[in-house]
A and B are shown apart, each in its own frame.
Chain A
Amino acid sequence: MDPINIEGTPKTPTVNFSSDSGVLEIKGRSIPENAVEFYKPLVDWIGSYGDSAQSNTEVNIQLEYFNTSSSKCILDVFKKLESVNGKTNITINWHYEEDDEDMLEAGEDYQAIINIPFKMIEMEEM
């Protein structure tokens, strides 16, 4: 299936989803006024990916900022991943910058809701 490659903007993240490598990446900032529009194609892609998934899937989330309009959409991405988790072994790597407790807590909040292993990865600089 076709990959998703979206360049980041000041309000939306860089997205690289590849079914060939089984690596899904969302990076940068996610502060659009309306996040639903941006995230829907990503959620749909994951649904289709489930039918031809690699045996292992690595999800890298590396966000500097996200607004509450994005919060529920990011949860939707994780829930969709949860729904295909039987067909592929998924790991979610949640990156946060050193000392950014708000971003660490945000990752822990998703971890508490989603039944997929999360790795919290502290980075010196993103």
Chain B
Amino acid sequence: MTPSGVMIDFHGEINEEKLSSILSDAETKLEENEENFKKSRKVYNILVESLQNLFHHSDAFGDAELMDGIKKRTTSFILAKKDEEYNILAANFIEMANINPLKGRLDKVNGLDKEGLRNLYKEVLDNGQYSVHGGGGLGMIDIARKSGNKLDYTFAEVNDDYGLFILKIKV
């Protein structure tokens, strides 16, 4: 861990292999730096969810370029620990058309308390709908539920068709 508390600092095109190596690196660092087993398990769970989320969204772009030399599947991912608090930042490109629906889902999640999140989770779990990778919209609900905090997000405009989605999670 660096003096600033940064444990993982990834910037680049994510693929399955990189995803696995970041996860195993994170697991080792959590074992070394976190004595509280419950916290370490929580953070790892949220890391898995947020990284796989990044991977699935970015993977769908294939090899397409957003602009010269920058592929659409470029992502940023940071895990840092400050005192007893973990901060995760995950950023990926997103089509403009997908921003409003995503914003709607995040705001819905942020509007719920602990019990409300649990009920929504159960409802989505049992709605019989599957996304390509199986989760079917449970990811953000699960992250909010496990972190116990609101999802802090922003969108930045990149060009007419694409934006950058930045999600910050506090655990």
Interface size class of A (residues with CB under 8 A): 20 to 34
Instruction: State which of B24, B122, B133 has its C-beta within 8 Å of the C-beta of A33.
Output: B133
Q: Is B18 an interface residue (CB 8 A)?
A: no
- List, in ascending order, chain A residues with CB within 8 A of B41's CB: 64-65, 100, 102
B118 touches A105 (CB 8 A): yes
Could you count the A-B residue pairs with CB atoms below 8 Å apart for me: how many are there?
Answer: 72
For the residues of B in contact with A, the DSSP-based class is helix
B interface residues (Cβ-Cβ under 8 A, vs A): 16, 19-20, 23-24, 37-38, 41-42, 44-45, 48-49, 52, 55-56, 118, 121-122, 125-126, 130, 133-136, 138-139, 142, 146
* Closest A-B pairs by Cβ, 8 of them: A68-B138, A68-B135, A69-B134, A36-B134, A69-B135, A35-B134, A68-B139, A68-B142
Q: List 20 A-B contacts (CB under 8 A).
A: A33-B55, A34-B134, A36-B134, A65-B44, A65-B48, A67-B49, A67-B52, A67-B135, A68-B138, A69-B134, A70-B134, A72-B125, A72-B136, A73-B134, A75-B126, A99-B37, A100-B38, A105-B118, A109-B118, A113-B126
